[in-house]
Structure 1
Amino acid sequence: MQDILGRGPIGVVGLGTIGQRWAATFAHAGYEVSCYDPDPARWQTFQSLRTTLADDLQRLAPAKVEAGEIRFSADLATAMAGVRFVQESGPEQLPLKQALLADIERHVAADVVIASSSSALLVSDMQAACAHPERVVLAHPFNPVHLMPLVEIVGGKATSPEVVEQTRAFYEDLGKKPAVLRREVTGHLALRLMGAMWREAIALVESGVASAEDVDRAFCYGPGPKWTLQGSFISNHLNAEGIESFLTKYGKTYQDIWDDLGDARLDAPTVSRVSKAVREAIGERSDDDLRDQRDAGLVDLLRVMSQRAAL
């Protein structure tokens, strides 16, 4: 993929929270970045964040090359002129996404890969209006994008397998940790895993088993650290004399738990009760303080993971 890019400019379409952090990430890796958003105010917001984002990236992984230039245009044709790869991060609305991807196509060369950051939409649906759907692929990051390594990659029905592999190689070279899906599913990988865990977390709070604070504490100081370093499969493999032994010894226990898992519906009463429980857990701490604490902690944690993680 690096050969295809030729270190050419990367186009970032959509300069909201996701797009801003993608732009900082690409620039930190030495790429020239050309950004587009129909709202010039997004560029001003990004300008106020650039130093903080660059500092985060530098602490996480000191740059090996000089940072690339980042420019902006509110005109899509101008912004996409000459780019060699596009990271699209527009709103999660299918008709808008279909029109946007088709519009991007008209302003880039025929061999330019268009990667969507979409977290909820399927590639096959998004690429439906494209003249060259074979070069449209999903590359879904995790928040905060400039720090979190995961990028989920999957092609749609019309996506070329070569494009999927080229995209994986590009993000790998960027220092990310790509995970490739073999077929499309709603929510991709990580959101489905989070959704399963979070459904039970909400059910436990709703049924009065524990407070939101204690449910979070159970995860953070229970499976969380081990799963962070090794994932669930390898971690459980080490919890016995191998995975076969673990499944034999604890299979019934897990089956009993699965059979007893709660259900959660995000109706208005549940939203109200869970929101109240989370506010109680947060207490007097501000969102800005929590976010700063999270990002600083992520840098330290991810640096350890880069040396100690099994995957």
Structure 2
Amino acid sequence: MDPSQGTVAVIGAGTIGLSWAALFAAHGRTVRVQDPRPDVGPEVVAAVRHHTRLQPRAGDPEELLTRIAVVADVEAAVTGADVVQENAPERLPLKQELFARIEAAAPERALIASSTSALMPSDLAREMRTPERLVVGHPFNPPEVLPLVEVVPGERTAPWAVEAAVAFYRSVGRKPVVLHREIGGFVANRLQSTLFRECVWLVSQGVVSAAELDEIVTESIGVRWATAGPFESFHLGGGPGGMRHFLEHLGPGMARRWKVVEQPELDEATVELVSNQVEERFAGRTYEQLTEARDRAQLAVIRARDAARDGEG
């Protein structure tokens, strides 16, 4: 498979699938979209127009739409495909049934990837005749904006499938990272879930409001971690002595705090408190307005960061 060309089947056209379809088309792929909903066609059009508004270099939306076909069934979508990106609901029996249909109709060496954020690839492939070609290709939402794709091989995934997945995602402008082993939640979601637990606890205890907490994050660790991850940041935080100095001198205090991890309950009162604060803050703005503003800001951060890194060379 040449990762720079070919046909991609997008199975499941919710938020993630629509985003994938627009991205793949913008990178010159022929895309076939399959979803049981009858209104998928107009949603594909809207997704492509959203993508080209955000990233004008992606091309003319009408041209991109000529590369995308909405098809009626899974078999029609995957026949002759080089890559299959599955985005069905997070129900293991449903996905296993889909993969049985996909592997029966797709070419023998077609890469099969799942966007799942919760299910293990070994479980997804358990009933497959060709489990060696299945990987998890978990994007961060939305995949047309955020570069990360976590590539997670299962117990029986072949090395060629991992290599093909990495090459494919790089060819559509993503940043794939291969996990060394399966783990629940993978990596990025485990990190944000842990941080969000602390966010909910701080708001529930009246330490800060939800809006204030967002400001604290975006004006501190959000900027820091967008340009240098936690390990690099703490390495620099250790001064000339680096990570070793940091861990020796500041690590003990951090380790003491690790032993006291507050566990907020998502009971009715907490759900109401957090939800009311967030809903009041964004009242009067539609979901579409909020997501477009978010996507434009995130793209601007990524471009500025990448430009700064290029300048270092």
Under a length normalisation based on structure 2, what TM-score does the superposition of the two structures give? 0.91
> Are positions 1:249 and 2:288 aligned together?
no
Counterpart CA distance in 2 for 1:21 and 1:181 is: 23
Mapping 1:177-216, distance limit 5 Å: 177-216=175-214
User: Match for residue 145 of structure 1?
Assistant: 143
Given that 2:52 and 2:59 are in contact with CA atoms closer than 8 Å, whether structure 1 keeps it comes out as no
Of all paired residues, the percent bearing the same amino acid is 38
Mapping 1:1-311, distance limit 5 Å: 3=2, 5=3, 7-58=5-56, 67=64, 69-241=67-239, 242-308=242-308
Q: Which runs of 5+ in 1 are unaligned?
A: none
How far off its partner does 1:138 sit? 0.1
Structure 1 residue matching 2:33: 3-state secondary structure: strand
Tell me which amino acid in the other structure corresponds to 1:102. A
Counterpart CA distance in 2 for 1:75 and 1:280 is: 42
Counterpart CA distance in 1 for 2:272 and 2:260 is: 25
Tell me which amino acid in the other structure corresponds to 2:261. L
Report the count of equivalent residues.
305
Counterpart CA distance in 2 for 1:135 and 1:111 is: 7
Structure 1 residue matching 2:229: 3-state secondary structure: helix
Q: Which runs of 5+ in 2 are unaligned?
A: none
Alpha-carbon spacing, 1:217–1:187, altered in 2? closer, same or farther (3 Å): same
Counterpart CA distance in 2 for 1:10 and 1:190 is: 25
Given that 1:57 and 1:146 are in contact with CA atoms closer than 8 Å, whether structure 2 keeps it comes out as no
Given that 1:25 and 1:57 are in contact with CA atoms closer than 8 Å, whether structure 2 keeps it comes out as no
Given that 2:19 and 2:47 are in contact with CA atoms closer than 8 Å, whether structure 1 keeps it comes out as no
- Which stretches of structure 1, 4 residues or longer, exceed 4 Å deviation after superposition? none
Superposition RMSD on alpha carbons, in Å?
2.0
Instruction: State which drifts further: 259-268 or 188-197.
Output: 259-268
How far off its partner does 1:283 sit? 4.9
Counterpart CA distance in 2 for 1:25 and 1:291 is: 17
Under a length normalisation based on structure 1, what TM-score does the superposition of the two structures give? 0.91
Counterpart CA distance in 1 for 2:300 and 2:228 is: 17
Counterpart CA distance in 2 for 1:279 and 1:294 is: 16
Structure 2 residue matching 1:118: 3-state secondary structure: coil
